[in-house]
Structure 1
């Protein structure tokens, strides 16, 4: 576990250097704080702010990486719904073909960056209470730290299963250095405790600068409860009720709404507002990082963008796009996907691209005018909250009028007929299907597959059992694919961790 075995000073230095040097996160604009010692740091309000800012940096790794891809993609290829033009990316291809290994760089990056974020959160939560500063500001910073720690652990426990649960700072002599893997239920208890603490911290409902908010906290907690209701914990009805209640708090707050146009999903002017509850923040000033996820969604050889880095690393399968209902606006060109675009040399000439690329993340201004992107990456949208409510309310007591309205808001925007008169079972599958289509390529579908043990059969619209489901291009899901392999380097460094079955 070399990536989380750090002395307190090493964690501090890593946190402060990242906070000072990054131009990626729009609210991270720090003076150089590197001239410190353990005796003089964590004494001033600005240092509390820097410590929390450093936690956000680990979010940046979710959609970014080298030409081969990013951790975001590792959760899209095992759904069977994504394709790639970038044949040199063994990491992507192995996951897509269900022959993943513990040496996969995406898994290593996900594990490393998440535990770095957790380490920085632990440090902030431990040290900020001792700083003499405005109590309301202090509580909000602690709320952000608790939220972010919960976010990282929620990803890790769903991806890797039993993982080390570390909630304090560690030194070279700490027994936590070689922590055994905690039971999944214990990790979830910590996630709920962190989010409950964040709820009580006085965070605002929204924040135009992109910091964690009450809306993000309650939305994530609703998702956590929904997951706990299903596999692997199978807590059932009580947790469906908790999920519905928490999602309803977000809905009835009146602070969020669906955008009227899908173009707003990838508009710089709409970031951190309206439908966008929580996002990874990027700034155009640092193009080498902020361009990373743009390059992945651009066709490799079609010359439609001012950006030089175009890899075609991920695009939607034709079969998945065809699975949308007839007339669904989301499946039309330049809504959620794009299959035509204009040439950089002649914007009056439109060409066919030969595939369905991901328009919901496409920075129009960067690709056609500026050549530099600061577009944020979405992590939590209001559409997801509506669908959490619809699913959870139905499981708790059948399809209520409020549950229908939650899913029908999304269907109306897609120009589809509203759902009505369905049995509980039919409504259940209608909402599952809606999640596939509305939240596609946002790192939601694979998590749904695992918590439900069900997979949408995109050729006939029904749901198959997870084990035995066959992708349209051949590979068949097995029990092994319910978890990702723990990176080999972590297994080698900590004998108290066992590899997941089948790897």
Structure 2
């Protein structure tokens, strides 16, 4: 049964009082809960309740649930918010590199920034309590819990630095002298959380090694090591600093050191056999939508939401116009893949039709909705589907489906990228082959896997292939933006994406043979579309039983909305700190990056 994120009981909540009451009088006096910490953090059941409380801010209304997950990660060369072309729109501004400190979606005291620091404060209290009273050693319940607390704190900091760059570093519970802090260099934070994850990896168990790690809603060693590898790549990668886009100047965060760390960690996970790719891409995403949270598969860790919290499908699923036979919400379709992505896939790549969906579910008749073709500029992420769920969502604005935070395919990608840089393309090849082997049917492996990868004989060609493969594997998972930033390709790929969409609109260049007319009929269930004309060169009417529809409507205003005209995305790689937090910082916080 899915783990439920809930508000903790009054005893556990008392531990976290210091997160919520920051008055000077309160901070000068010892918190009442400190009288109980010796019992709470030396008792596994109570300590687990406290560590679970670190995750509760994920589900708050304006936190990950309704703000960070729906809006961070757009727009890229593969994904866009479908409302990006709206002018003077607070949601669109978050995605088109035009967010301002007073953005009305974000500029509230209970927003993601605040909730992340609430989670960090709870983690700090748990880490201090477990170290002081718990004797948290490897192989013990309290050791597992300390590893979880360290990892959860690292997750919050990783997302803070991903969205805002330099942020305040707070690794001890708040006291009267540390209420207000200036921003720290993100390099300081990277080094601390990479170190913390190294410790956590010694404390937590592999997937399914213990009861605690039988679910992907609990932290396990495969995730910790994979996550540590991801952070090593980010820390050594390109990103915007106040003085420009560059790699870190910190000698501890060089490419050589961080890539070696990443490669070592990934190889540990791969060699452990504790996680694996699902047999097919469709199986992966069906199991995800069916809320299969058993550890040991492809999902390494998921942000857990209860049935009545979380907006992953609500935001990203194939669009349902109204409540119908599949969902009681009538939602989805906030964002989707760029219209070029479908046509960039190899037609025999099984990931294509899972990733890119050209239809929505229309207005239901007698409760039954049919699939309906949209237009060329509106595709949906097929990885998220109410129709694949095992339960019927009735909440008005939440679906309760978890957010996959990391999956095993990313471990293979990081291993390939790091191995290519340190050891050459031959060392990267096995990892890329494993990814492509799952993407293509066995009859295509000789050409699409072995011959394709073996031809990548230089570091440059292998790197370029990995950048391309990343698109095919991860579109719709909002991982692309940070990767483009660390590769120093954000502006380059966004410009390229605009040019490609112009070519698709005009049916020129690489899209000259994309049909302008689609033909469709309904399958025997009278719900599912049978579509002809999506593939290149499918230009002939397949039969009188098919209806025709024009497949165009990709206009310049929509294309140009990928990022705001006149704005350089490389100058806006991060969101600004929202004004409410600037105003409440006692003069300590300021915005950089031309805000």
Matched residue SS, 2:266: helix
Question: Structure 1 unaligned runs (5+)?
Answer: 1-22, 462-468
Q: 1:96 to 1:170 in 2, by over 3 A?
A: closer
Q: C-alpha separation between the residues in 2 aligned to 1:420 and 1:182?
A: 45
Match of 1:424 among 459, 483, 488: 459
320-329 vs 248-257, which moves further:
320-329
- Match among 225, 248, 252 for residue 267 of structure 2: 248
Q: Larger radius of gyration, structure 1 or 2?
A: 2
1:367-406 equivalence runs, <5 A: 369=392, 371=394, 373-401=399-427, 403-406=428-431
1:233 lines up with 2:248 in the alignment: yes
2:507 matched to 1:481?
Answer: no
Aligned to 1:408: 433
Structure-to-structure mapping, 1:339-358, within 5 angstroms: 339-340=358-359, 345=365, 349-354=370-375, 355-358=378-381
3-state SS of 1:279 partner: strand
* Deviation of 1:221 (Å): 0.6
For residues 401 and 583 of structure 2, the distance between their equivalents in structure 1, rounded to whole angstroms, comes to 38
Report the alpha carbon displacement of residue 263 of structure 1 after superposing the two structures with TM. Answer: 3.5
Residues 101 and 134 from structure 1, CA distance in 2 versus in 1: closer, same or farther, beyond 3 angstroms?
Answer: closer
Q: What is the match of residue 500 of structure 1?
A: 592
Where in structure 1 do 4 or more consecutive aligned residues deviate above 4 Å? 27-32, 61-66, 85-89, 132-135, 302-305, 341-349, 365-374, 469-474
SS in structure 1 at match of 2:275: coil
**Aligned equivalents of 2:171, 2:340: Cα separation in 1:** 44
1:314 correspondence with 2:335: yes
Distance 2:214 2:191 in 1: 30
The equivalent position to 1:324 in structure 2, one of 328, 345, 349, is 345
Summarize the Cα distance change of 1:28–1:96 in structure 2 as closer, same or farther, 3 Å threshold.
closer
Q: How far apart are 1:65 and its partner, in Å?
A: 6.8
Query: CA offsets, 1:101-157, max 9 Å, x none?
Result: 112334863312211111110010111234468851111111101011111111212
* 1-structure distance, mates of 2:439, 2:88: 34
SS in 1 for 2:482: helix
Give the match for residue 127 of structure 1.
129
Report deviation, 1:484: 1.6
Separation of aligned partners in 2, 1:470 and 1:246: 41
Taking structure 1 as reference, are residues 160 and 107 closer, same or farther at Cα in structure 2, changes over 3 Å only? farther
The answer (yes or no) to whether the contact 1:484–1:500 under 8 Å persists in 2 is no
Match of 1:268 among 278, 284, 290: 290
1:155 aligns with 2:159: yes
Q: 1:364 aligned to 2:387? A: yes
8 Å Cα contact 2:113/2:160 also seen in 1: yes
Runs of 5+ consecutive residues of structure 2 not aligned to the other structure: 15-31, 239-246, 502-558
Shift of 1:277: 0.2
Q: Flag the 1:311–1:269 CA change in 2: closer, same or farther, 3 A.
A: closer
Quote the Cα distance in structure 2 between the aligned partners of 1:240 and 1:385: 13
Change in 2 beyond 3 A, CA 1:73/1:349: closer
Residue aligning to 1:337: 356
Match of 1:73 among 47, 70, 75: 70
Question: What SS does the corresponding residue of 2:75 show, helix, strand or coil?
Answer: helix
| CA distance in structure 1 between the aligned counterparts of 2:61 and 2:276, rounded to whole angstroms | 25
SS at match of 2:205: coil
> What do you get for the CA RMSD once the two structures are aligned?
3.2
Instruction: Mark the CA change 1:41 to 1:141 in structure 2 (over 3 Å): closer, same or farther.
Output: same
TM value normalised by structure 1: 0.82
Q: Secondary structure at the match of 2:379?
A: strand
The number of residue pairs the alignment matches comes to 463
